[in-house]
């Protein structure tokens, strides 16, 4: 069983969700249920398994239910039907004090418009989670200082949120979420409100942090490029239904339907695809296929990094794994085909 299990979640908004639930379970879609009952379907039979330590991205356009979905993980929203569990613990069965204790100790959340407390300075915002837990002032300020420095805001402790730029405010949001040392980081369109350059910086920063911290991150976005960049796995939602779940390359190479295909069309494939997913694999006893004059490339190298090598040599290349064993070959022709899609 995975760390976070979401099973058959339905969320229906309206005065009498149970009545519309039967229709939804019977297979009626969002528009049909809205026309018949006036209820809006937020999530339609969504099941996901999220592993400990992975960065799991949920991608969808506005109205797809992605923000509703992430709010089920800390029960800011309760489902109409379905199950949510963390490490085998059913969070829907928790009473309010248990739920609050669970939120305090195990979850951190980052919001699109930051959700900072405007009447508190950076220090008190970052220390907020610890304050809620009842940690003594000295201790929580020490922890907060560490995270403020970590996100690059040392010296800004006494500033208030409205005195900071958007990017800096979101660094405060990130530090606040990390200060309680949670197992799970929920990020709701955390970088969507930022300028493109700052967004890219924050993505890099998050990946750097994650490489050390190994949190379980659930990241919501409407931007496929962002999803492909930071996600270990990606789930795509449309109209409250799950369309596809897979690794970035699977999404790009094998889109589940026209909807996903349309998304992936404009993606820069050279930044997503890796050597090992498009190479010609060598089966054992076939080592003669490798020419010793071919340049070697790493199995995990992205196409963008391979292209210069390919252009400089004009020959095929040998793909080698971490142990330097030749596991495949890659010809310029294969690269061209992969880029064309």
Partner 1 sequence: MFPEQLNVPLGKWVNQFVDWLVVNYGAAFEAFADSLLTVLVALEQVLRGAPWWVVLIAIAAITWHASKNWKLVVGLVIAMFAIGMLGLWDKAMQTLALMIVATSLSVLIGIPVGIAMAMSNRLRAVMLPILDTMQTMPSFVYLIPALMLFGLGKVPAILATVIYAAPPVMRLTDLGIRLVDQEVLEASRSFGASRKQILFGVQLPLALPNIMAGINQTTMMSISMVVIASMIGARGLGEQVLMGIQRLDVGAGMEAGVAIVLLAVVFDRIGQAYGKRSQRSHDAEDA
Name the E strands within the chain.
Answer: 4-13, 40-50, 55-59, 81-86, 89-90, 107-110, 184-188, 216-221, 233-238, 241-246, 280-281, 296-298, 317-320, 326-330
Beta carbon nearer to partner 1, 144 or 275: 144
Shortest Cβ 129–partner 1 spacing (Å): 5
Q: Please state, in angstroms and rounded to a whole number, the distance separating the CA atoms of residues 326 and 287.
A: 8
CB atoms within 10 A of CB 293: 8
Judged by CB under 8 A, which of 24, 109, 243, 252 binds partner 1?
A: 109
Shortest Cβ 268–partner 1 spacing (Å): 32
* Residues in region 36-75 near partner 1 by CB under 8 A: 71, 74
DSSP conformation class of 84: E
Backbone angles phi, psi at 156, to 5 degrees: -105, 10
Beta carbon nearer to partner 1, 164 or 290: 164
Shortest Cβ 210–partner 1 spacing (Å): 20
Match 């142990």 to its residue by tokens: 323
* Residues in region 178-237 near partner 1 by CB under 8 A: 180, 186
Judged by CB under 8 A, which of 68, 121, 210, 316 binds partner 1?
A: 121
**Residue 79 neighbours by CB under 8 Å, 6+ apart:** 9, 10, 11, 43, 72, 92
**Residue 40 · residue 202 · CB < 8 Å:** no
Judged by CB under 8 A, which of 48, 59, 84, 116 binds partner 1?
A: 116
Backbone angles phi, psi at 171, to 5 degrees: -65, -40
Shortest Cβ 77–partner 1 spacing (Å): 10
Q: How far is CA 23 from the centre of its chain?
A: 31
Beta carbon nearer to partner 1, 37 or 121: 121
Judged by CB under 8 A, which of 18, 47, 100, 313 binds partner 1?
A: 100
Judged by CB under 8 A, which of 160, 250, 259, 270 binds partner 1?
A: 160
Beta carbon nearer to partner 1, 26 or 118: 118
Does the footprint of partner 1 cover residue 112 (CB under 8 A)? Answer: yes
Binding site for partner 1 (CB under 8 A): 71, 74, 76, 97, 99-105, 107-109, 111-119, 121, 128-129, 132-133, 160, 180, 186
């Amino acid at each position: 069983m995975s760390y976070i299990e979401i099973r058959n979640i339905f969320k229906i908004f309206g005065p009498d969700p149970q009545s519309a639930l039967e229709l939804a379970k019977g297979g009626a879609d969002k528009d049909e249920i809205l026309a018949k009952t006036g209820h809006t379907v937020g999530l339609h039979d969504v099941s996901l398994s999220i592993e400990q330590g992975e960065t799991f991205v949920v991608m969808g356009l506005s109205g797809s239910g992605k923000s509703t979905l992430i709010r089920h993980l800390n029960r800011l929203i309760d489902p109409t039907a379905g199950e949510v569990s963390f490490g085998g613990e059913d969070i829907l069965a928790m009473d309010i004090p248990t739920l609050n204790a669970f939120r305090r100790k195990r979850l951190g959340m980052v919001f699109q418009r930051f959700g900072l407390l405007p009447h508190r300075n950076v220090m008190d915002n970052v220390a907020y989670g610890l304050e809620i837990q009842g940690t003594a002032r000295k201790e929580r300020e020490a922890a907060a200082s560490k995270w403020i420095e970590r996100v690059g805001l040392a010296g800004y402790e006494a500033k208030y949120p409205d005195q900071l730029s958007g990017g800096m405010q979101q660094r405060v949001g990130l530090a606040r979420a990390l200060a309680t040392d949670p197992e799970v980081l929920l990020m709701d369109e955390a970088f969507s409100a930022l300028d493109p350059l700052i967004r890219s910086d924050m993505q890099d920063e998050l990946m750097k942090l994650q490489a050390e911290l190994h949190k379980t991150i659930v990241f919501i976005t409407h931007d496929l490029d962002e999803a492909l960049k930071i996600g270990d796995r990606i789930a795509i939602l449309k109209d409250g239904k799950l369309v596809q779940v897979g690794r970035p390359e699977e999404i790009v190479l094998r889109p589940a339907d026209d909807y996903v295909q349309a998304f992936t069309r404009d993606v820069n494939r050279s930044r997503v695809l890796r050597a090992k997913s498009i190479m010609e694999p060598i089966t054992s006893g076939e080592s003669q296929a490798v020419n010793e004059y071919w340049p070697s490339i790493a199995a995990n190298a992205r196409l963008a990094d391979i292209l210069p090598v390919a252009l400089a040599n004009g020959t095929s290349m040998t793909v080698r794994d971490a142990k330097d064993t030749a596991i495949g070959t890659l010809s310029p022709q294969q690269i061209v085909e992969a880029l064309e899609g």
